[in-house]
Chains A and B, each alone.
Chain A
Amino acid sequence: MGILNAFKVRMNTLAIVLIPVCIAIDWAGHAVASGLKLPLFLDSIGTVLGALLAGPWVGGIAGLITNFISSGTVDPIAAPYSIISLAIGFAAGIGGYYGWHKTWQGRVALYILIVLVASIGSTPLNLGLYQGQSGVPTGDAIYAALVKGGWPTWLAAYIDEASGDIPDKLITVVVAILIYFGLPNRYRALFSVWRRTGDEKAPAPAPSV
């Protein structure tokens, strides 16, 4: 099946070294956003960028470990959501494999896919952990209003979660794609070995002399 080809990856040293860098970009993306007091998390830019550059495994593992590390250092509640970050990395990697980030329709599709993965995946976790709330005050206000209005809790929980994911993932995907196309060609090429099949050679970055 075609889609599985995206996962047939040779992890060379470069791909392995790229993963911690993507994790650090996830962190920095969030730190810079909170430094500027932007009302968004923006903590998966590295995951999406890594997936677009080097495939679903790099993106997925970066997402997974970003969450593991946050859980162990600043926010233990992030731990169960590691699985969602893994899925976001996979989704972006599959989109990247098919080159969705290169066309306008594709970019919209990539965004929608990531929002769906994030919101559908997080809802059951929110139900188990928070009785369906998302822990974000505005989303939780919507949740309270909907439940009060007689909506089923799972649907209210989904809308609560999605209300946060829709703007956050929009900016995440836009920023990741802007960064991707802001890179010099040789760096895009450097990490794109995974797109080729059967070719063992890395492409051509001229080193700074």
Chain B
Amino acid sequence: MSEPAVVFEDVGYAYEEAPHEAVSDINLRIEAGEWVGVTGPTNAGKSTLCLLAMGLAPHFFGGKLRGKVTVLGTESRAIKVIERSTDVGLLFQNPFTQISGARERVHEEVAFGPECHGVAPAEIEARVGEAMDLVGISALAARHPLDLSGGQLQRLALASLLAMRPKVLLLDEPTSQLDPAGTAAIFEVLSGLHQSGITIVMVEHRLETLCELCPRIVAMVTGRILADGAPQEVFNREVVQERVGLPVYTRLARSAALPAPRPVRLSESAKAFRTPIA
């Protein structure tokens, strides 16, 4: 049995000077190679979950951490974010804030992280080529990062993380500011990464997308985990439907009074709607 990728044990966290905890009583165990989608309404604590796993909370934000966050066997208190960055990557919402700003070519930008880690030049070159290939931006290698579209930039940001060869990827609404084409490109890359065995934790509010992609979903509300399981299991729970909302397909099935368990994906939904109600 291999070591789990991410483990939260009775975790509570309050930002400094904040009156309440942003997340409370979080217990979560994510095995290596899983692809977990995290969803929930505004202020559910989804971003905080990512910041905790990365170690930015508490190392960057201060504040008060209860319980234990362990990623790849190391507790977050025991390791700095910059040291963690070889094994764990975090992709933010806004593609523009994630480029270092210190490089004039796309391929140089991808090399920035490995350079910070003192990787040997030949090795850097190999990693940069590989990372650009993975996200499909090799053709843009010689362009200036700021000449790219939002979707291309977000793929560049992802390549920059992949060049560090992370084992765990945390994604905080990676496509919420992108158009459908940019979004589709990112998800295609993520599917490939999931195949190759990388552990992915992804915050996303488009439930239909989430259900298509992630075998496991964590639904959060006001800092607590409300449900955790396979998409169909999670979205068939009454409490999730009330407080988080439902994918279109599940909502339609509910309105049409189809029997439970109600479908969450297009294919299942088509089947369910074709079957005449007994």
Contacts and interface: CB of A to CB of B under 8 A. Distances in A.
B51 A203 contact: no
Nearest to A206: B15
Nearest to A201: B62
B16 interface: yes
A178 to B, nearest CB: 24
- How many chain B residues sit at the interface, stated as a range, is 10 to 19
Contact of A209 (B16, B17, B44, B62): B44
A209 B47 CA distance: 6
A207 interface: yes
B65 to A, nearest CB: 12
A207 B62 contact: no
A144 interface: no
Contacts of A189: 17
Contacts of B16: 201-204
A204 B44 contact: no
Given A201-B62, A204-B61, A209 B15 contact: no
A205 B45 CA distance: 14
Interface residues of A, number: 11
A208 interface: yes
Contacts of B46: 209
A20 interface: yes
Interface in A61-83: none
B276 interface: no
A206 B17 CA distance: 10
A112 B143 CA distance: 47
Given A203-B62, A209-B22, 18 more contacts: A189-B17, A201-B16, A202-B61, A203-B16, A203-B17, A204-B15, A204-B17, A204-B61, A205-B15, A206-B15, A206-B18, A206-B22, A207-B61, A208-B47, A209-B42, A209-B43, A209-B44, A209-B48
25 contacts: A189-B17, A201-B16, A201-B62, A202-B16, A202-B60, A202-B61, A203-B17, A203-B62, A204-B16, A204-B18, A204-B61, A204-B63, A206-B15, A206-B18, A206-B22, A207-B47, A207-B48, A207-B51, A208-B47, A209-B42, A209-B43, A209-B44, A209-B46, A209-B47, A209-B48
